[in-house]
Amino acid sequence: MIKLDLPIFSNAVEELRLGLIGKRKQYNMTLDEEIQVKEIYDQYELSKGQTQTFLKAEHLDVSFRDAIQLAYKQVAEGKRLEKLRARILLDTQDCTCCGLVGSDTIDHYLPQEDYPVLAVYSSNLIPLCQKCNNKKRSVDGSIPGKRFVHAYYDNLPDNVQFLIAKVAMKEGALMIDFEIDDTSPLDSGLLISLNYQLNRVDFYKRAKRQVNDFLGGLAVYIEQDYHSDKTNGVKTGLERNYHYHLKNSGINNWKTVLFQELMNCTEFCEGGFYTALNIEISKSVFIT
Ligand SMILES: [Zn+2]
C-alpha cells in the first residue's frame, strides 16, 4: 500500500526491441509495429493504467503479440532483459500491496494474457510478493469496485492515514485487528480499491499471523524496558519503534499502526504483555 515513482526508462520501445531479440528465436519489429506499440504505450500513460479495449491491441498481428509475451517469459527466467527485472524489483523492498513481506515477483497491472503488448512495459510492471501476485493475477479493474491500487499512478498520500489497527486485551490475550479507516479523507474510489485488494490478498488474516511472530521476537526487549522503567519504559520503547517505522515504512505500514496502538494500550504496557506474549514470568532472568 505504497506509492512508487514511475520506473525510469529512456526508451520503452527500444527496451521491447531488446526483449524480442534472442539467441534462438527472435522477432524483428517493423517500423509500423513500432509506431503502433508507441501509441499503445502513450495511451496507457494517458489512462494511467486503467483498462481500455485499445490497450488489448487486438488490431495488431497475433504473431507479434505472441512474440512480446514470449519476450516476457524470457524476462521472468532472467535470460533477456535482466536489467529491466532488476530495476523494477529494486524500486521497493516491501510488497507494494500488503507490505507484509518483500516483493520478489513482478505483476502485470493489466494482465499480459489480455494485454500482451504491455507484457514488458515498465509502467505496467508492479513489484509484489508471491501471494499478492497470485491473487491479483487476473484482476484488470474492468469490474466496478474490483480494482487494485496502481502503485505508480494512484495518488496514495504518505501523510494521510487510512490503515488502522484495533488493539485490546481480553482475558490476558492480545486481540489485534487491522482495517481500512472509512472515515479517512482519502478519495472514496481509492478507499473502495484498498478494501477490495486487501480482502482479495487475505491481508487481514495474514497480518494477524505475522503480528504474533513479530511481537514474539520483540518480547525480550519489551521485558527489558519494563524492568528498567515499568509501564513508562514499555510505552517509551513502543513509541520509539513507532517513530522508526513511521520514518522508514510510512504512516500506513502495518508495523507503524501496530506500534501506534500498542503504545496506547495501558493494560498491555503495565504488564499485560507477559500473558499476551506468553512470557513465562518464572523463567524471567529479570524477576527479583
Ligand atoms: Zn504482498
Report the separation in Å between the CA atom of 103 and the middle of ligand 1, taken as the mean of its atom positions. 7
Given a cut of 50, whether residue 95 has pLDDT beyond it is yes
Q: Mind listing the pLDDT tens digit for each residue in 112-135?
A: 999 999 998 999 999 999 999 999
CA distance 272 to 249: 27
Domain range list for the chain: 12-136, 163-283
Average of per-residue pLDDT across 191-199: 96
C-alpha of residue 135 to centroid of ligand 1, in Å: 9
Contact between residue 258 and residue 213 where contact means Cβ atoms under 8 Å apart = no
Give pTM, 2 decimals: 0.89
CA of 169 to the centre of ligand 1 (A): 28
What local confidence, expressed as pLDDT, does residue 76 receive? Answer: 58
68 CA distance to ligand 1 centroid (A)? 27
208 CA to centre of ligand 1 in angstroms = 14
- Which pLDDT value is given to residue 17? 85
For residue 109, how far is its CA from the centre of ligand 1 (angstroms)? 14
Counting residues of the chain whose pLDDT is more than 90, the rounded percentage is 72
Task: State the pLDDT confidence band at 279, using cuts at 50, 70 and 90.
Answer: confident
Ligand 1 being an ion, which residues bring their Cβ within 5 A of it? 95, 97-98, 129, 132
Distance 254 CA to ligand 1 centre (A): 12
For residue 108, report the distance from its CA to the centre of ligand 1, in Å.
Answer: 14
Residue 78: CB partners within 8 Å, gap ≥ 6? 85
How far does residue 97's CA lie from ligand 1's centre (Å)? 5
Residue 25 has pLDDT above 90, yes or no: no
pLDDT reported for residue 285:
45
Q: How far is the CA of 205 from the centre of ligand 1 (A)?
A: 13
Residues 221-253 have pLDDT tens digits of 999 999 999 999 999 999 999 999 999 999 999
CA of residue 136 to ligand 1 center, whole Å:
10
* Predicted confidence (pLDDT) per residue in 52-87, tens digit: 999 999 999 999 999 888 888 776 565 666 777 777
Please tell me the predicted confidence (pLDDT) of residue 86.
Answer: 78
Give pLDDT, residue 286.
45
CA of 66 to the centre of ligand 1 (A): 29
Share the mean pLDDT of the chain. Answer: 89
> What is residue 52's predicted lDDT score, i.e. its pLDDT?
94
Residue 287 has pLDDT above 50, yes or no: no
